[in-house]
Structure 1
Amino acid sequence: MFRRYLNLPKEAYIATLATAVNNLGNVTAPFLTLILSVRLGFSLPLTASILSAKTILQMVGVASGGIFSDRFSRKAVIRLAGSTAVLTYLLMALFASNPWIVLSLLALNSVAQASLDPALNALLMDVIPAQHQRDTSALKYFGLNLGFSVGPLLAAALYKNSLPLLFAIDGLTLGVAILLSLKYIPEIYAKKTEKKAKFIVDDLLENRALVGFSIAIVLVFVVFFQYNFGLPLAVKSAVPESGDLLYGSLMSLNAVVVVLFTFLLNHLLRRHKTKHVLVLGTLFYAFGFGIYGFADGALLFLLGTFVWTLGEILVSTAVNPMIYELTEPSKRGRASALFPLIRRIAAVISPLAGGWALANFGFTGLWIGCVLVSLIAAILLKNALSSCD
């Protein structure tokens, strides 16, 4: 099962190491709400507005990073955005006692760090042969979760005692990850000077398969993000006395399943096409979130979480390879912006849709809605990708 990962290009291991290091030091994001409201003293309404504005700035950064990666070069974007992101983290550490300076730097950091995603993904996938892209995505996904399993624990230890150190660690680990990518992953992309890169929406509209795929994946992640909106509310409603503990256990189960099953699932489905893996993952979402409709205690909540986490693994490791399969090299920078952009769009829509469903139909209606949306997404994926070999 693991032998196939020994034959990947060395760039896959470098990217996985960089991802693990970056997420090991990803100590600001998990506690950002508390940092803004408790440590920096912003009111809860203002904190909510700041977090919403941060999401919008990240969407701008993702789109810009993708466009400029194609217009200029992958590494040019990585150098500029990466140095800006690292510098803003270090400056936040220096001025951690001044809330408004931290807030201004956070805004710049949000754009810069989001710009890195499409550039780094395009840089890597340019050099990874098509037959190794799913394995590379699975390996990177494992590295991400391995690092993130430790990062929040480190954040919890530093949050109350040393806010400057929290920012500094985030900046330094990001810097190490960027240097690894710049030094050991070559850039082979050469932009076509005779044709300017167009805005990402133009390319989406020209590529009907990509349009259908993008709409379907937005729906998939609208369902997925109910894990941090509808699910904690449902758990607390079903088990009022120990709901907080149970929800924490569900998130721990999610992390454990990702670490233990990523390689196994990728191995079992290695002979299946990427589009079929995506559809299967979407059906796991339908089944997993649907189980919550019957949950009145820990057992079914645990079972539902286990099932949709399998779907998370399949979808998360197949989305980027599918995007690259649908796009030509000259558009991969912008294509690499799709996945992070889709996730952020869905992150905005999901709590709004979930809140509306809860207000009008209750928890049963919410979970039925998740099943229906997942099934619609699976049908859209099947139809949109029917022409792919």
Structure 2
Amino acid sequence: MRKTFKSYHPIVWTLLAGTVFARGASFAAMPFLALYLSRTTDVSPILIGLTIGIGPLTGTIGGFIGGHLSDRYGRKVVMLTTIFVWAAVFFGFAFSEHVLAFMLLNAVNGLSRSFFEPTSQALMADVTEKEKRLKVFSMRYMAINIGASVGPLLGAYLGMISANLTFVITGIAYMIYGIVLLILMNKYKITNVNEGKAVASFKEAFRVIGRDVSLRYFIVGGILVNIGYSQIESSLPQHLNSSLEDGVVLYSVLLSANAITVVLLQIPLSRLAERWKTLHAMMIGSLLFTAGFIGFGLSGGWTGFILSMTIVTIGEIFLFPSGSVFIDKIAPDEMRGTYFGAAQFRSIGHSAGPMFGGWILSQYSGQLLFFIIGGVIAASMWFYYAGNARYEKQIQQNTLSA
């Protein structure tokens, strides 16, 4: 244990612990925002939906901006500013009364997430040796799932006491996280990795991103995967509810199985993935995703759905951390934050997926939906392969020209 702890920078452990802490608090509050608005305001369901949806929208746009700012002004400045603004957002949720205030706050919430998360990933890569980064990103993904599994239970409990209290506690959690980061970043002298270097302007960075074909292929592949993954929260519960008598109970079991599988298998499977090339881990992850969603279409009872969810979960264990490693691999050192930020455009799939899946579900059937989604996810493998091939070709050209 001591050897493992010393193998990584203290800031890495702080960010991992903070991810569990802050994500748990966030998952305690945000899933209940729609319910909170419906109970405490008289606004229409359409306005509530718009309020909830504006966060992911601003997050999709903000990732690139936040990542570039972290390259230009330093991870420390962006992360600390963002975390304290984020804390203020949750305090605002607790004391706001007008729907426009909630819309503005959730827009800032989406921006805060999109600024903080790519920057924190870039910082983890900055302070970690290249051969250890897959393990770090795997541990980060496990930390997210631990927070996601504990948070909603905590939120349900606190919601019975006071809905406002949930937001206040979340704000306090983020405030504590920010203070701890401030202390440790000063102690370990986290400075701008690009200090003294010529850093591209925002316009120049946007041009570089636009010209990077490997990144574009990766983003398209990620959008396709996220179109599929979003069905777990949108179409899957509707399909289970309409096709099985105890579908709601089964859906709860599937969510728990997903979280438990990640926590139990993340570390051993990440060790296995370390022996493979990044592309191979991503391809296997997409293939398992495809098989799992086809399994959803073929399943008619509890056993089939649980087995399919387990396959999907193993796929995400391989795919999502490996995706972070791929971004780190193709990014120039001085633009690492910008690349991690640009990768947030993958979340377009999370926005488009529920509408796409909902239309198929309403017009045809859940079985056909999951077969189609399996095909959509399978297409991501071509984009990952093409992106990696383009990157390796560029490396060869650079070597020959040197």
Q: Same fold (TM over 0.5)?
A: yes
Q: Which amino acid aligns with 1:209?
A: S
Alpha-carbon deviation of 1:365?
A: 2.0
Cα deviation code 1:249-283 (max 9, x no counterpart): 11111111011110111122221111211111000
In the alignment, the residues of structure 2 paired with residue 180 and residue 48 of structure 1 have an alpha-carbon distance, to the nearest angstrom, of 35
SS of structure 1 residue aligned to 2:161: coil
Query: Of the candidates 362, 367, 384, which is equivalent to residue 365 of structure 2?
Result: 362
| Aligned equivalent of 1:129 | 129
Aligned-pair Cα RMSD in Å: 2.3
Q: Retained in 2: the 8 A contact 1:61–1:114?
A: yes
Q: What are the equivalent positions in structure 2 for 1:244-323 lying under 5 Å apart? A: 244-323=248-327
Q: Retained in 2: the 8 A contact 1:212–1:381?
A: yes
In the alignment, the residues of structure 1 paired with residue 109 and residue 87 of structure 2 have an alpha-carbon distance, to the nearest angstrom, of 8
Alpha-carbon deviation of 1:377?
A: 0.7
| Aligned equivalent of 2:236 | 231
| Aligned equivalent of 2:155 | 155
Change (3 A) 1:6 1:262: farther
Alpha-carbon deviation of 1:47?
A: 0.7
In the alignment, the residues of structure 1 paired with residue 199 and residue 352 of structure 2 have an alpha-carbon distance, to the nearest angstrom, of 39
| Aligned equivalent of 1:12 | 12
Whether 1:218 and 2:226 are equivalent positions in the alignment is no
Q: Retained in 1: the 8 A contact 2:84–2:174?
A: no
| Aligned equivalent of 2:115 | 115
In the alignment, the residues of structure 2 paired with residue 2 and residue 198 of structure 1 have an alpha-carbon distance, to the nearest angstrom, of 45
Whether 1:383 and 2:383 are equivalent positions in the alignment is no
Q: Which amino acid aligns with 1:357?
A: I
Q: What are the equivalent positions in structure 2 for 1:39-118 lying under 5 Å apart? A: 39-93=40-94, 95-96=95-96, 100-118=100-118
Q: For this pair of structures, how many residues does the alignment match?
A: 386
Range moving further from structure 2, 39-48 or 223-232: 39-48
Q: Which runs of 5+ in 2 are unaligned?
A: 396-402
In the alignment, the residues of structure 2 paired with residue 233 and residue 75 of structure 1 have an alpha-carbon distance, to the nearest angstrom, of 43
In the alignment, the residues of structure 1 paired with residue 204 and residue 152 of structure 2 have an alpha-carbon distance, to the nearest angstrom, of 36
Query: Of the candidates 204, 207, 211, which is equivalent to residue 209 of structure 2?
Result: 204
Alpha-carbon deviation of 1:320?
A: 1.2
Range moving further from structure 2, 303-312 or 183-192: 183-192
Whether 1:353 and 2:356 are equivalent positions in the alignment is yes
Whether 1:31 and 2:32 are equivalent positions in the alignment is yes
Change (3 A) 1:253 1:123: same
Q: Which amino acid aligns with 2:367?
A: T
In the alignment, the residues of structure 2 paired with residue 270 and residue 354 of structure 1 have an alpha-carbon distance, to the nearest angstrom, of 34
| Aligned equivalent of 1:338 | 342
Q: Retained in 1: the 8 A contact 2:124–2:136?
A: no
Q: Which runs of 5+ in 1 are unaligned?
A: none
TM-score (norm 1): 0.92
Alpha-carbon deviation of 1:194?
A: 6.1
Change (3 A) 1:105 1:123: same
